[in-house]
Amino acid sequence: MIEAFTRLFDAFATLSTFEMVFHAAWATLLGIAVGSLPGLTATMGVALLTTLTYSLPREAAILVLICMYVGAIYGGSRSAILLNIPGTPASAATTLDGFPLAKQGRAAYAMSVATTGSTLGTLVGIVMLVALAPALSDLALKFGSFEYFWLAVFGVLISGQLTSGTTPVKGYIAGILGLMVAMIGSEGLHAHVRFSFGFDQLNGGIGLIPAMVGAFGLAEVLMVMWQPKAQVVRSEREKGAGLPRFMEAWKYRVTVLRSGIIGTIVGLIPGVGEDIGAWASYAAAKRKSKERDQFGKGSIEGLTAAETGNSAVVPGALIPALTLAVPGSAPAAVLIAALFIHGIRPGPMIMIEQPDFIYLVAVMLFFATVAIFIFGISLAPVFEFVLRVPRERLMPVVFTLCVIGPYALTQRIFDIWVMVFFGFLGFALRRLGYPMPPLVLGIILGDLLDKNLRRGLTLSDGDLSPFFTRPFSMVFVALIVFTIMAGIPVVRRQVGRLSGAIANMGRGT
Amino acid sequence: MRADLYTAPALFVLGAAMSYGGYTMDRLEIRQIHPASIPGLLPMLLGAALMLASVVLFLQARNALASGPQPEADTGSTRDLVLTALSCGVYALLLVGNIPFPAATAIFVASFILIFEADPSRGKAHLARIAAIAIVLGVAVAAATSILFRYAFLVRLP
C-alpha cells in the first residue's frame, strides 16, 4: 500500500513539468473537439494522433494519447446533448436525457452535469486501476499457453456477444474475421509466411494502425457524408448554468459510485468499450432510481449515470491492456500498438520490467481528468462553435490525415491501400450490422491465440486435456460456455422463465 | 436483415477457402517441427468456425424473415456516399504516390468542398465564394500537413 503511494507520488513528480502539462492541455482539448464532432471517434482520434507522436519522448507520447482518449470520450457528450447525435458511440446513452434537457433550454446545465459526471467517473476508474492492475498482473504471471489461448478466445467471444445487440452471431463473425486478418503474414513460431498471395508487402502482416485508421477513419467519413445533416440546438446562457454540478453529484453519489464501478468492470472485459459501460450504468441507475419515470425525459440522474459510466470505462479498459496486452476497448487496442511503437511491452511482465509505468498511466489519466473538468466548464461555448463546422470542410481534412498518418509509420504506399481497403470493409460491415470492436480485438489477439494454441499443443505433445483440466483453463472454459449459452435466444428465454418461476415460488412460500 | 441471406453464403465460402488454405499449407516436415504446431492449424479452425457461424446467421435470417416484415434500415444519401467514396478513392489510390503529396492534397480538399458545397442554382456569387473557400482551405491543409510531416516528423512525403 505504502509502496503504491510512493510510486504514485514519484509518477506525479515525474510528470509535473511544464512540458507535460502543456501536452496534457492541448491533447485533451483536441480530444474534446474530436469527440464533439459526430464522425470523429475516440479510436480514430487515438489512431491518428499515434502517427503524430512518433518523434515525442515516450512519456509525453503516451500522455498525449491518453489525454486524447479521455477527452474524446467526454467530448462525445457535447453533440449528444446539442445534436441528439452521440459524438462517439460512448455517448449514445447520454442522448436519452441530455437532448431533452437541451430542448428544455437547459443545454449548458446538462453539459455541466455531464462534465462533473465524466470527471467523477474517470476518478473512480483511476482508483480501481491503481488497486486492480498490479493484482491482475500478478495473477497473469500464473497463466501459461493454455490459459492465454482461452483468454484470447474469451476476449473475442465476449466482445462479439456484448457489442452486437440482438444478433451475437454477427459479433462472433466480426471477431473471426479479425482473427483471420491476423493470420496474414509471417507467423510467430516458425516464421512461415501465410496467405501473402505473392505480395511481398504482406509478409509482415497487416499493420494495426492502417487497419484501424481505415476501419474507424475512412469508414466514419463515409458514414458521416452518407447520413443526413444534423441540426445544432442553441444552448441558453442561463446564469450560472455552466458551473460544476457538485450538489447534483452529491445528491446522486450512490449512482456516481455504482456507475463508476460498473464502467470500470465493463472496461475490464476485453473489447467491449465505453458505449456498453454507459448503457449498463444507465440501466442500473434506472432500475434503482426513485425518479425512474423521469428517465428519458431529461433526468439528471440518468445523464450522470451515462457519463460517469462511459468515462470510468477508460481507466478500466487500460487495466487488461497494460497487464495482459488484451485491450478493454477499441481505443485501448490502438494504445497497445502505440505502447509497442514507443518501446513499452504491455503484458504480465510490466510490473516486473517497468513497475512504475502503471502509476505513470494513473497520473496521466488524472491530468486528463483535470483538463476535461477545466475545459468542460470554461470552454463550453467554444465546443458549441466547433459543432457548427460544416462536415463538407471537416471530412476532407480528416481523410487527408487518414492517408498521411499510416504512411508516416512505414513510409509505404501499400499501407495507404490497406487503410482504404479496411475503410470500405468497415463501412460495409457496419451497414450490415457487424460491430467493429470484435474485428479490432481479433486482429490484436490473433497472434496470441495462434502462438499459444500451437505452443500449448507442443508442450502437451498434442494432448488436448491440459486445455480443459488446469484450474485457470477450467474457469475460462466455463466462462466461454456461459457466454455462448447466454447468446442463444432459446436458452435465454428458458433461463428467464425458470428464474421467474423460482421467484414466484419464493413469493408463494 | 435480408442482406444476411446473401452475406451468409459468401462468408461460408470464405470460411471454406480459409480451411482449405490452412489444410494445404506447408507442414514444414523438412524442418521437423512438432506436427501439432503446423502453421495451418488455426486457419483451419477459424475457417470451420466461420462456416458454422455463417450457417447460424443464414438460419436466423431466414427464420426472422419468415416471422414477419423486418424494420427498415436507416437510409442516407447514396449520391453523397458514392461521391465521397470516389473522391477518397481517387485521392488515396491514384493521386498520392503519382503526383507530389501537397498538390494531391490541395486538389482533393478543394474538389471535395466544391463537389458538396457548390450549388449552381444559387448564382455566380455563391459559386465564386465557395470556390475561394475551397482553394484557400485546400492550399492551407496541403501546406500544413506537408510541413508538419516533412519537417516536424521527418517523413519523406509520397
**What proportion of chain A, given as a percentage, has pLDDT over 90?**
36
Domain ranges for chain B, please list them.
4-66, 78-152
Among the listed ranges A79-93, A211-225, A357-371, which one has the minimum average pLDDT value? A79-93
**Domain annotation covers residue A225:** yes
Whether pLDDT at A240 is above 60 = no
- With an 8 Å Cβ cutoff, is A165 touching chain B? no
Between the two ends of chain B, the Cα-to-Cα distance in Å is: 42
- Nearest CA to A407 out of B158, B129, B95 is that of B158
Residue with C-alpha cell 445528491? A251
pLDDT by residue (tens digit) across A282-331?
888 988 888 888 888 888 899 999 999 999 999 999 999 999 888 888 89
Q: Which residue of B has its CA nearest to A454?
A: B37
The pLDDT value given to residue B70 = 67
Whether pLDDT at A387 is above 90 = no
Among the listed ranges A88-97, A138-147, A428-437, B70-79, which one has the minimum average pLDDT value? B70-79
**Domain annotation covers residue A457:** no
**Domain annotation covers residue A317:** yes
- Segment holding A185, helix H or strand E: strand A185-186
Contact map slice: A 329-388 vs B, CB within 8 A:
none
A413 with B96: Cβ contact below 8 A = yes
Among the listed ranges A47-51, A132-136, A395-399, A445-449, which one has the minimum average pLDDT value? A47-51
For residues A205 and B149, the model is more confident at: A205
**Domain annotation covers residue A166:** no
**Domain annotation covers residue A164:** no
Whether pLDDT at A418 is above 50 = yes
The pLDDT value given to residue A509 = 46
B88 with A420: Cβ contact below 8 A = yes
Q: Which residue of A has its CA nearest to B12?
A: A173
pLDDT by residue (tens digit) across B22-42?
999 999 888 888 988 999 999
Residue in A226, A458, A461 closest to B81 by CB: A226
Can you give the residue range of the structural domain that contains A275? Answer: 2-143+208-389
**What proportion of chain A, given as a percentage, has pLDDT over 70?**
94
Sign of CA dihedral A142, A145, A150, A154: positive
Dihedral, CA of residue A126, residue A132, residue A135 and residue A140, to nearest 10: -100
The pLDDT value given to residue A89 = 77
B109 with A396: Cβ contact below 8 A = yes
Using H for helix, E for strand and C for coil, what is the string for A268-290? Answer: HCCCCCHHHHHHHHHHHHHHHCC
User: What's the predicted TM-score (pTM) here?
Assistant: 0.84
Complex ipTM over 0.90 = yes
Q: Which residues of A touch B113 (CB under 8 A)?
A: 392-393, 396
Q: In terms of residues, how long is chain B?
A: 158
**Domain annotation covers residue A48:** yes
Among the listed ranges A114-128, A367-381, B42-56, which one has the minimum average pLDDT value? A367-381
The pLDDT value given to residue A417 = 94
B36 with A457: Cβ contact below 8 A = yes
Greatest mean pLDDT among A9-13, A213-217, A293-297:
A9-13
For residues A409 and A113, the model is more confident at: A113
Kindly indicate the confidence band of residue A68, based on its pLDDT and cuts at 50, 70 and 90: very high
Among the listed ranges A154-168, A475-489, A490-504, which one has the minimum average pLDDT value? A490-504
The pLDDT value given to residue B31 = 87
What's the domain count of chain A?
Answer: 1
| Cβ atoms of residues A308 and A281 within 8 Å | yes
The pLDDT value given to residue A238 = 56
Residue A234 DSSP one-character state: P
Number of residue pairs across A and B with CB atoms under 8 Å?
173
| Cβ atoms of residues A177 and A430 within 8 Å | no
The pLDDT value given to residue A242 = 57
**Domain annotation covers residue A185:** no
Looking at the complex, report in whole angstroms how far the Cα of residue B51 sits from the nearest Cα belonging to chain A.
Answer: 10
The pLDDT value given to residue B53 = 95
- With an 8 Å Cβ cutoff, is A431 touching chain B? yes
